[in-house]
Structure 1
Amino acid sequence: MADLATGAPPSLTEPLARHALTEAATRTELPCDPVELIRIGSNAVFRIGADLIARVASPTASFATAEKQIRVARWLEAERYPATRAVDVAQPVEVDGCAVTFWRSVAPGTTYAPIGDVARVIRQLHQLPPPVDLDLPEVQPFGPAGSALPEFAGLPPDDARFLRRQIEWARETFPRLPFVLPRGVIHGDANVGNVLVDEAGQPVLIDLDSFATGPREWDLIQTALFARRLGWHSESEYAEFVHVYGYDITQWSGFEQLADIREIAMTSWLSKKAADSEATANEAHRRIRDIRSGGPRTNWGAY
């Protein structure tokens, strides 16, 4: 379904997401009531009753990404790895350009795992044998070289130009970094926000969108960045993470550049949403200002 004036797919609104969810649930003979919106961003995430979670992707998102999530979830379940479980129905379901997927709820509420458990599930993932029948993409944090750069419509023109230059730098720099850990399957967005605690008190990895193959350092950089630059983890928490995982990325020669690249990725993701609200635009501008000036990152808000 496209916007009649522009030919572009519509943005992901709650009414659109609810309609897609209802239609997809009907097709798969899953319940669709009661439904509670948990959050809406790149995906709309709903809780259905006590046991189900539905994710509705934006019409602008690739359907292949949703297909990959389901294949990854099936593989991890076969490996008995502690990750979110996809419901056993034919999915994803396409409705009005939106990919709808259904998941077993980890727990009735949202509790994030302690940092040691975050390190443990990342280490477990990195120790899994490579999947035989799952063709994962190579990680490219900003897309392939030469592909179109974001417009960042909600940013002042100078901020947008600066961020596009940083993305071009990151595209060139990332593959040239002197990675030392074995390459293999990575989560792609590994951090404390993507590891929940289930009803038995065990950690469960969620958000399988960014699964890929590539340097394992990419799965470690966010925790180190949160601790060393943003102040979102204490030094003792980071020490526990290093102890459990078994490697301290901050001692690696490429740490500072990879941390810079991860900051650009975080800021670019937020800046694409700068037109959505004044608060988001202000946060994006603050981050860009600090990256430009080398200022402290401890005042960055969590999004």
Structure 2
Amino acid sequence: MTQTSNAETAAWSILETASRRAGLDPSGAELMRLGENALFRLPGSIVARVSRPGQLTAAKREVAVARWLEANHVPAVQTWPDIDQPIEVDGQAVTWWKELPPHRPGTAFTVATALCRLHDLPPPTDFDIGRLDPFVRLSERIDRASTLTEPDRIWMRTHLIELKARYEELPKGLPETVVHGDAWIGNVVTTDDGEAVLLDLERCSIGPPEWDLTSTAVKAFTLAGITADDYNTFVGMYKHDVTAWPGFETLRDIREFRMTCMAAQVAGENPHRRDEVLLRLACLRDEHGPRPWTWTAVP
């Protein structure tokens, strides 16, 4: 049995235990995705999310944020009602959500639309949403990069220290707000009635709004995943171009490093992804030419 199938078997077991505790029937559930989290669709348009170990606090915050956004009429994924969640099973958190209505992938414009709504909200007062940590879990992901050589992991740890120091020296920017924390195009969808809906709320916190804006700039100028015209549409909607801010390169470099650490973790579980990690490391070390770079998505 492979590591991936071991992870899937464990996720199914946790889902069944948590569902019974929540008073739900997991019979007929189907696996939607197995990646950073495991997503299952249950009968009745319920989606269950099984986190990795050690994410109970993040899951509690995500549930609280979803309920807060719903109360403030900001379109986002909604928790399934009448369940005291999250439920912890063997150190992993399980949460339940309403399945999204028919929708299509987000665009630069819909990301900007969703971020305008989020960034305009005053912070919640009935729970602690926490402060942004752009380095959360990176050390653990480097440690799990078992397919890399020790010199590569040493370079990553050293680079992490350098990025943390640069982050502490960020110049003054926009006033801090509630930020999404992972505001790339894949975390916003558009419903058939034209509503821009935020997904994946586990990193919502207080921080510089430039962090959210940087994700779309990286999509455009690091990865060429959207066009310059798309990016200009994003800027026109949000009314701010983060690439003109002196701190942009620091946030861009942190975002690129996060993407590399995620790929390194995945490669530790699936060695076939190792070449992608080596490519990303070469890019970060200025060994693969200037941006944009051609990176292949990893789960």
TM-score for the superposition, normalised by structure 2: 0.91
The Cα of 1:161 is off from its aligned counterpart by 1.2
* 1:34 counterpart = 2:35: no
* 1:289 counterpart = 2:282: yes
**Aligned residue pairs, count:** 291
Bigger proportion of residues as helix = 2
The SS at the match of 1:67 is helix
The SS at the match of 1:247 is coil
Indicate the RMSD between aligned Cα atoms, in angstroms.
2.2
Q: Check conservation: 2:221, 2:292, Cα contact below 8 A.
A: no
Structure 1 letter corresponding to 2:142: P
* 1:239 counterpart = 2:232: yes
The aligned counterpart of 1:299 is 294
Q: Deviations over 1:238-269 (max 9, x none)?
A: 01100011100111112222211111111112
Q: Check conservation: 1:188, 1:219, Cα contact below 8 A.
A: yes
Q: Check conservation: 1:51, 1:104, Cα contact below 8 A.
A: yes
The Cα of 1:143 is off from its aligned counterpart by 4.2
User: After the TM superposition, which residues 7-26 of structure 1 pair with which residues of structure 2 at under 5 Å, given as runs?
Assistant: 13-26=7-20
User: After the TM superposition, which residues 1-303 of structure 1 pair with which residues of structure 2 at under 5 Å, given as runs?
Assistant: 13-49=7-43, 51-58=45-52, 60-88=53-81, 89-107=83-101, 111-143=104-136, 150-151=142-143, 152-293=145-286, 295=289, 296-303=291-298
Structure 2 letter corresponding to 1:90: D
CA 1:255/1:12 → structure 2, altered by over 3 Å: closer, same or farther? farther
Unaligned stretches of 5+ in structure 2?
A: none
Q: Check conservation: 2:174, 2:210, Cα contact below 8 A.
A: yes
Structure 2 letter corresponding to 1:280: R
The SS at the match of 2:280 is helix
The Cα of 1:285 is off from its aligned counterpart by 0.8
Identify which of structures 1 and 2 has the higher relative contact order when contacts are C-alpha pairs closer than 8 Å and 6+ apart.
Answer: 2
The Cα of 1:26 is off from its aligned counterpart by 1.8
The Cα of 1:20 is off from its aligned counterpart by 1.3
Q: Where does structure 1 differ by over 6 angstroms across 4 or more consecutive aligned residues?
A: none
Q: Deviations over 1:90-113 (max 9, x none)?
A: 1101122221100001135x6212
The Cα of 1:33 is off from its aligned counterpart by 3.3
Give distance in 2, aligned partners of 1:46 and 1:279.
25
The SS at the match of 1:274 is helix
Give distance in 1, aligned partners of 2:188 and 2:126.
25
CA 1:98/1:285 → structure 2, altered by over 3 Å: closer, same or farther? same
Give distance in 2, aligned partners of 1:38 and 1:118.
24
Structure 1 letter corresponding to 2:227: S
CA 1:268/1:248 → structure 2, altered by over 3 Å: closer, same or farther? same
